C-alpha cells in the first residue's frame, strides 16, 4: 500500500484521494411518492422514491411491526453500453438482487420497525445515469427519501411515535494503483484492486462492510486505511443529508 | 358531441379544449446514450434514450438494412400509487408491450431503414413521472433522441447517406364531458368517454390512429373533431421538435 | 388514393373492393363451453368459447358488477410456417397480448357489467387456421359466443335482468395498391400500405379504430374511405350475427 | 376382476366392454400443415398438425439423421370447466409435458430417423374437445399426420428413401366397476380403478405400456385382460389409419 | 427373447439376470426431516426426505383428508457430464416432472389419505449420484421416509388412527441384448431395448407399470418375463424396507 | 464488546469463543465429478462438485483464458422447516444468487485463469444439511474440489502449466451476546448482533469481507476482534485443506 498523501498518484478525475465527488440531494424530485430524492454523486444519478403502503408482508402479519424494503434497477442506457432491460429478460440479475438486498438491510437500520406500525415503506432506487457507486448513492439518497416518507406518515397522523432512529449513509472506498481512495467513479472502479462498500450510522457505527479483492488480496492495514477514509467521508455525507432535510447536526 | 368552443366546460387543468400542456424537450439529458431526451408534456416526464448498436436482429441479417425498435417502462412510483416492478414480476405486462410496439412502429416511419445500414437503434422510453399521455410523449421525445442517434452515426462516419426521413410526433385527443379536447392529463384521461392517440408525420400524414371508446361508442363526427384537434396540435409539436433540434421549419 | 370503383385493380382473391369473404358463424361447435362458436371469414377460422365462472377478479370484488375478458391464441401451425408454442416459450408475445386486450375491450361494449352480476365471462379465441383478419373474426364470433353465455346465465336463472346491450362486430379495411378494400386476407394484408381494424356497434357507433401505416402515411380522405367500407361491412356482419342467433333485425 | 362378458355391467355410454367409440380420421383438416388430421374418438377431438422443418435440434447436428417430436396442448375450454391457458401461466404443466413426451416417443417408432435425413417433423396435437383418451387419440391421429408429412417430403423430392417404418396407434383400457373395458370416455375414466394406455405397432408389438392404479392395485390377470382388449382394439385402429391413408392392409 | 438362464450373456456388472445391486436404506440420514432416508441401489444414491406440514393444498381444503406428494431433483453433477441446474434454467424439465408425478402417485398408494387428516407430507427425492434406476430407488426409499414421517405424526399425537396402508416399492426391468434383466444400471439402461418400471405393493399388486420400447417393440411374452423378474425383486425390496423399519414380515 | 476470554459466556454449543466445529473434508465423495468433496462444519454438510468443461462463456471467447464459477443450492429440507424448491418456483432467490456470486469470486482467487486455458470449472455447492455457515463451508470445501479438478486436467495432460495459485478458505465470525465468536452455528447465527464472513488466502490476504449488523451497528474494535478470530481460524482451515489434499504445509 502506498501513502495516500503522496502527490504523484493522479486519480482519473484529478480528485485528492480523500475527496468526494460533488454530492447533491434534491428532495421532492417527483410528485407522487411520499419521499422522492434525486441523489447525485458526481455523474452517478439515482432517483430514490419511497412509497408508503398500509400492511406488511405475509410473514410479518400480526407481529405488530412495519417493514422497510428496497428495490433497485438500472435504466438500460444508464451505462456506457446498453444493457438489456431486466423486465424484458424476465428476471432480475444476481447483481441487482444483491444490491437491493444490501440497500434494504441498510435502510432498516434507520428505522424502529416496531414504532412504524403495520406499514411497509418500499424505497425504489432507479439509476438514471451510472458512473460508479450506484449502491452507495442509493443508500445515501434512499435514507433521505425514507425520512420524508416517515414524516408523511406523521403529518397524516397515521403513526403516533416517531420510528426514525438514525441517518444511514454509504460510501465506496478502494485501492487504486496502490493508494486508498474514496468514492470511486467508473474509471477507477473498473481498475481498482480492491473495492469496499461501507454503510455507516451517524453515531459512527458500521452497518455493512463489503470488501472484495478484484485482483490481489488486501491486508488488514489496507482495510483499515480504507475504513478511515470511509469514516471521514461518512461525516460529510451525514452533513449533506441533514442539510437536505433541514435537520440541525 | 358538444361544441368545443362553448365556454362552460372547464377542464380540470383550466386549459382551453385545444391547448397543449407545456411541452419541453431537453436534449443530452444523460451522457452515455447516442441520443438522450427528457420529454415533458406538463407533469408527464419521460426519458428517451436512443442507443446505437452494430448489427440487426437475426431475422433481418443479410437483408442490407437497419432496424429501429423501442422499449417502454414505468418507474414503479411514476404513478399515484406504486405499481409492481415488471423486472421483479418476471414479465412485461400487456399494456407495456402494446405501448412499446406502438412506439417502435411509429419511430420506424421516421427512418429509411435501407439507408441506416446494419445498425439497430433502440429507443428506451422510461417514464419518470406519469400524468397521462406517456405514449404520445414517448413518441414525440423518442423521435428527437432518434435523430440525435442518427446524427451520431453520421458524425462518426459510420453511415454515408442520411437515413432520416421525417419527424414523427404524437398526441392524445379525447371526448371529455362531451367536448373534444387535446393532450389529456390523468384526471381527464381517467374520465374521458373516448381516447384517441394519433401519430403524425410533418407532411400531415397519419402513421397510427388508435381510438378507444371507454364508456360510449363514438361517431364519425366526433372522430373527425378529434382528428382536427390532433392535426393542429401536431403542427405545434413539430415546431417544438425542430426548435429542439435546431432545424429550420 | 385510387378510386375503389376502378375495375383494373384486381385483389388476389378477385373479390370486389367492398366484398367480404364468405362469413360463417357455427354455434355449439364444442359441447362444454356455455357459448361455443366457430367463426370463419373465408379461410380464417377461429374457435370462440365463452366460459362462465362465478366470481370476479380481485380488483372488482364487492363492486357488485361482473367482468368480461378475452384470451387469444394461435395454434402453432395455424400459419404458413410453424410458429413456436407460446406455452412452451413461457410467455405470450406482445402481439398476442395486444390482440386479446383489444378483443376484451370490444366485447365489454356488448354487455352491461352491472346487470351481469358477480360473474366472469372469459371468451377464448383460438385460431385454428389463419388467413388474415383473425382479430376481427375473433370479435365478431366472440360476440355471438358471449350472447350464448349470457343466455345460459338467464336460462339457469343465475341472473335476473338481461346484461346484453348490443351486438359488436369488427372488420379490417386497408389500402391495397392504392385502393381501399375490405376484409383483407393474408396475401393482401402482408402487402397493404395501411391496415385499419374497426370495431362497431349495431347502432353505428365506433368502439375501436386502430389504423397503422405499414409503408406510407395515410391521409384523412383515405381514412374516411376505409371507414365507409367498414360501416357497410358492419351492417352485413350484424346480419350474420343476428341470423346465427335467431334475432330479428 | 369380473367377467367382461357378463351383461349386467352397463358402461355410462352403454357400449360393450370391447367396443370402441366412433373413430374418425379427417385428413387435410387445415391447409398450411404438411400433414393435418382431425382425429375423433367419439367426443374427443384432437387436431394433429405435422410440420416439416429443415434441420435438426442442436444435439443431433452432424449425425446424419432426422428427428420427430410432438407438442400437446388443450384449448382452455376443451374440458368441462375452463382450465387456465398454459401460455398465460408461463409454463406447460407436468401432465402436458408427460403426454407430449409420450406422443413423441411413440411416433418416433413409426419412422426410420436415419432415412428421414436432416429434417425435423413436429406433430402438434391440440385438443379441441376432451372426453377421455386425448393422448391415445393424439398418437393415433398424429401418426396419420406424420405419414402425410413424410409423403410431402417424398413428393417434393427432398428425401430419397422412404423413412416410414410402420403405423403406430394407441388405445386406453381400464378396469371400470371391476370389468376390463376399452377406450374409456371421461365418465368412465374419472371413476376407473385402473387406467392403462397402450401404444402398439401394426406387427403386434408394444411401444409403450403405461398403467396406473387409481384406487386399488391391479394384478397380472387384470393386466393381461386389459392388454387383450388393447390388442383387439389396435387391429381396428390400424384399419382406420390405413383406410384414411388409402393403404391396403 | 433369449433365455435369461443362458450363461453366455454377461451384464456389464457381471450380475446374474435376476440379481439386484446392493440395496441399502439408511434412515435418519439428515436431522431436520421427519423422515430422512438415503437409498442406494448400487451406485445410485438418492436422499429421500419426508416433510410434514399442517394443511393441505387449496383444492383439498375442507375435504377432511391429507395429501402426499413428491418432488424430484438431480444434483447437477449426479451424472457423467454436468447437466444444468433446473433452478437456474427457471423451470423443471419434462423428465423431472414426469418422474415426480410417478413418485407421488406411487407413494399415495401407501397411505390412507382420509386417516392422515389435514396434513401434507412432501417427499423430496434428490439424486446425489445417478447410475440408472433413480426413480425406482426414489420410490423404494421414499416409502421408508414416508413411514417415518407418519410415525412422527403418531408419536407427536397429531393423528389418532394409523394412515399407513402398505409398503410400496419399485424396480426397473428391461431387455438387455435380448435377455430380460432386473435393476438396470446406467451402462445397461442406455443400451437396453426395452425399459419397464414397475411399482408394487407388498400384497403383490401392481401400482404402476411403465414400459417403453427404446429401439424395437416388445411382445407380451417379454412383458411377462420382465414382470416375473419384477415380482421376485419386489419381494426382496420389501424385505429390505421391513428390515430398515424394524417391521416383522 | 465483551472480552472473549471471559468464561461466563456460554455458546449454545458450549464451544470456546475461538473454537471451530469439527471440520471434515471428504474427497471423492461422488464418482462422476472431476472434484467431489463433502465438507462438514459440524452439522453443516455441503457437497461440492467441481466439473470441468471445455470452452468458456461467450464473453470470454478468444481471450485465451479459462473461467471458474460456482452454483449454490439448498436441498428443500436441509433446514428446520421445508423451503420451496427453487427449480419449482422457477427462479433462484436473491440469497442464493448472492451466495453463489460470493463463492465464485472467492474461488477464482485460487486460480490463474490465464494458465487454466479455455476450460470452465463449475463448482456446484449443494447443501445437504444446514446448521449455519453454509457459504463459508462451500468456499472451503469447494476450493479442495477445485484443486482436484485442476489435478484432473493436469493428469489428463489437457493443460501444461499449473493454474493453481493458492488455497482459499472462509469462515464466519460474529458478535454473540456481546462476545466475538467464530464459526457460528444456526442457534448463534439467528441471534447474533453481527455476522461477518471472511474469505482468506494462505498468505494471510483477504479476498472478501462481508459484515452485516443484524441488530446494532458494530464498531472498528469489534470488527478487528472478529478479523483476529477469522485469521486464527483460517490457519486451521488451511491445515485441513492441505491435509485432505496431501499437501505439505
The arithmetic mean of pLDDT across residues A15-36, rounded, is: 97
Chain A from 35 to 94: CB within 8 A of any F CB: 91, 93-94
pLDDT in tens, C43-96: 999 999 999 999 999 999 999 999 999 999 999 999 999 999 999 888 899 999
Answer whether residue C126 shows pLDDT above 80.
yes
Percent of chain C with pLDDT over 90: 90
Shortest CA distance from B92: residue in chain A: A87
Q: Which residues of B touch C111 (CB under 8 A)?
A: none
CB contact under 8 A, A77 and B128: no
CA distance C244 to B121: 50
Q: Which residues of A touch B85 (CB under 8 A)?
A: 71, 73, 87, 124
The shortest C-alpha distance from A185 to chain B (Å) reads 15
CB contact under 8 A, B49 and A75: yes
Task: Say if residue F6 is exposed, middle or buried (CB neighbours under 10 Å; 0-12, 13-18, 19+).
Answer: exposed
Which residues are CB-contacts of F84 (< 8 A; sequence separation ≥ 6)? F76
Query: Residue C41: beta bridge partners?
Result: C23, C44
CA distance C39 to C26: 6
Choose the closest CB to F223 out of A94, A209, A219.
A209
Q: Indicate if the alpha-carbon torsion angle B227, B230, B235, B241 is positive or negative.
A: negative
The shortest C-alpha distance from C129 to chain D (Å) reads 6
CB contact under 8 A, F213 and A206: yes
pLDDT band, very low/low/confident/very high, at D213 (cuts 50, 70, 90): very high
Between helix C134-155 and helix C94-108 the angle, nearest 10°, is 50
Measured CA angle at F46 (ends F43, F48), to 5 deg: 155
Which residues are CB-contacts of A155 (< 8 A; sequence separation ≥ 6)? none
Q: Which helix (H) or strand (E) holds D96?
A: helix D94-108
- Averaged pLDDT score across all residues of chain E: 94
The arithmetic mean of pLDDT across residues F96-113, rounded, is: 96
Secondary structure (H, E, C), chain F: CCCCCCCCCCCCCCCCCCCCCCEEEEECCCCCCCEEEEEEECCEEEEEEEEEEECCCHHHCCCCCCEEEEEEEECCCCCCCCCCCHHHHCCCCHHHHHHHHHHHHHHHCCECHHHHCCEEEEEEEEEEECCCCHHHHHHHHHHHHHHHHHHHHHHCCCCCCCCECCCEEEEEEEEECCEEEECCCHHHHCCCCEEEEEEEECCCCEEEEEEEECCCCECHHHHHHHHHHHHHHHHHHHHHHHHHHCCCC
**Least confident span in B84-98, D98-112, F32-46:** B84-98
- Are F88 and E71 in contact by the 8 Å Cβ rule? The answer is yes
CB contact under 8 A, C206 and B218: yes
Hey, which chains touch F, using 3+ CB pairs under 8 Å? A, E
**What is the reported pLDDT for B214?**
82
Name the strands in the sheet holding A44-54, side by side, starting at the edge strand that comes first in the sequence: A23-27, A35-41, A44-54, A119-129, A67-74
Percent of chain F with pLDDT over 70: 96
Q: Which residues of C touch D31 (CB under 8 A)?
A: 43, 129
Residue A133 known to bind ligand: yes
- Per-residue DSSP letters for B25-90? EEES-SSSSSEEEEEEETTEEEEEEEEEEES--GGGTTSS--EEEEEEEE-TTSSSS----HHHHT
Highest mean pLDDT, choosing among B85-94, E96-105, F82-91: E96-105
Q: Which residues of E touch D196 (CB under 8 A)?
A: 209
CB contact under 8 A, E124 and F79: no
Query: Residue A45: beta bridge partners?
Result: A40, A129
**What is the reported pLDDT for A216?**
86
Ramachandran assignment for D113, one of left (phi > 0), alpha (psi -120 to 50 degrees), beta (any other): alpha
Shortest CA distance from E168: residue in chain D: D217
Residue A232 known to bind ligand: no
The arithmetic mean of pLDDT across residues D10-36, rounded, is: 97
pLDDT in tens, D168-180: 999 999 999 999 9
- Helix spans in E92-219 (H): 94-108, 113-116, 134-155, 186-189
User: Which of C70, C86, C212 to mutate to probe the B interface, most B CBs <10 Å?
Assistant: C212
- Are D183 and D171 in contact by the 8 Å Cβ rule? The answer is yes
Cβ count within 10 A of residue B157: 7
Q: Which residues of A touch B32 (CB under 8 A)?
A: 77-81, 129
Query: Residue D24: beta bridge partners?
Result: D40
- 3 state DSSP class of D120: strand
CB contact under 8 A, F101 and A91: no
CA distance A110 to D135: 59
User: Which of D85, D125, D130 to mutate to probe the C interface, most C CBs <10 Å?
Assistant: D85
Choose the closest CB to F30 out of E30, E85, E129.
E129
The shortest C-alpha distance from A20 to chain B (Å) reads 21
- Averaged pLDDT score across all residues of chain D: 94
Q: Which residues of F touch A196 (CB under 8 A)?
A: 209
- Are D104 and D137 in contact by the 8 Å Cβ rule? The answer is no
Look at strands B67-74 and C119-129 and give their pairing: unpaired
Answer whether residue B61 shows pLDDT above 80.
yes
- Per-residue DSSP letters for E222-248? HHHHHHHHHHHHHHHHHHHHHHHHT--
> What is the ipTM score, two decimals?
0.94
pLDDT band, very low/low/confident/very high, at C5 (cuts 50, 70, 90): low
- Averaged pLDDT score across all residues of chain F: 94
pLDDT band, very low/low/confident/very high, at D9 (cuts 50, 70, 90): low
Answer whether residue D200 shows pLDDT above 80.
yes
Q: Indicate if the alpha-carbon torsion angle C92, C95, C98, C104 is positive or negative.
A: negative
Cα C248 to chain centroid, rounded: 21
Shortest CA distance from F36: residue in chain E: E77
Q: Looking at the complex, does the CB of residue C114 fall below 8 Å from at least one CB of chain B?
A: no
pLDDT band, very low/low/confident/very high, at A214 (cuts 50, 70, 90): confident
Look at strands C119-129 and C67-74 and give their pairing: parallel
pLDDT band, very low/low/confident/very high, at C115 (cuts 50, 70, 90): very high
pLDDT in tens, B2-43: 555 555 568 999 999 999 999 999 999 999 999 999 999 999
- Are A24 and A35 in contact by the 8 Å Cβ rule? The answer is no
**What is the reported pLDDT for F90?**
86
| E26 φ/ψ angles, rounded to the nearest 5 degrees | -105, 110
Q: How far is CA D122 from CA C84, D166, D181, E92, in A?
A: 11, 18, 32, 22
User: Which of B85, B93, B142 to mutate to probe the A interface, most A CBs <10 Å?
Assistant: B85
pLDDT in tens, E59-98: 999 999 999 999 999 999 999 999 999 998 888 999 999 9
pLDDT in tens, E122-135: 999 999 999 999 99
User: Which of E82, E96, E124, E125 to mutate to probe the F interface, most F CBs <10 Å?
Assistant: E82
- Per-residue DSSP letters for E97-120? HHHHHHHHHHHHTTB-HHHH-SEE
Shortest CA distance from F94: residue in chain A: A97
Answer whether residue C103 shows pLDDT above 90.
yes
- Helix spans in chain A (H): 86-89, 94-108, 113-116, 134-155, 186-189, 220-245
| A225 φ/ψ angles, rounded to the nearest 5 degrees | -60, -40
- 3 state DSSP class of E59: helix
**What is the reported pLDDT for D30?**
98
**What is the reported pLDDT for F108?**
97
Amino acid at each position: 500500500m502506498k501513502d495516500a498523501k503522496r502527490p504523484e498518484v493522479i486519480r482519473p478525475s484529478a480528485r485528492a484521494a480523500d475527496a468526494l465527488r460533488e454530492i447533491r440531494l434534491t428532495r421532492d424530485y417527483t410528485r407522487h411518492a411520499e419521499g422522492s430524492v434525486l441523489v447525485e454523486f458526481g455523474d452517478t444519478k439515482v432517483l430514490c422514491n419511497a412509497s408508503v403502503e398500509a400492511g406488511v408482508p405475509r410473514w410479518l402479519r400480526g407481529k405488530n411491526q412495519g417493514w422497510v424494503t428496497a428495490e433497485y434497477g438500472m435504466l438500460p442506457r444508464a451505462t456506457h453500453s446498453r444493457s438489456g432491460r431486466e423486465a424484458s429478460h424476465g428476471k432480475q440479475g444476481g447483481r441487482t438482487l444483491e444490491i437491493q438486498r444490501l440497500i434494504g438491510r441498510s435502510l432498516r437500520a434507520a428505522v424502529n420497525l416496531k414504532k412504524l406500525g403495520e406499514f411497509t415503506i418500499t424505497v425504489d432506487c432507479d439509476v438514471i445515469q451510472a458512473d460508479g457507486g450506484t449502491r452507495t448513492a442509493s443508500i445515501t439518497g434512499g435514507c433521505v427519501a425514507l425520512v420524508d416518507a416517515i414524516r408523511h406518515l406523521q403529518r397524516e397522523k397515521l403513526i403516533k411515535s416517531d420510528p426514525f432512529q438514525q441517518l444511514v449513509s454509504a460510501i465506496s472506498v478502494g485501492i487504486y494503483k496502490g493508494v486508498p481512495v474514496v468514492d470511486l467513479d467508473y474509471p477507477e472502479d473498473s481498475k481498482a484492486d480492491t473495492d469496499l462498500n461501507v454503510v455507516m450510522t451517524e453515531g459512527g457505527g458500521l452497518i455493512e462492510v463489503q470488501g472484495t479483492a478484484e485482483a490481489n488480496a488486501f491486508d488488514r492495514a489496507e482495510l483499515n486505511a480504507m475504513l478511515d477514509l470511509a469514516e471521514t467521508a461518512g461525516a460529510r455525507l451525514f452533513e449533506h443529508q441533514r442539510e437536505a432535510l433541514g435537520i440541525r447536526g
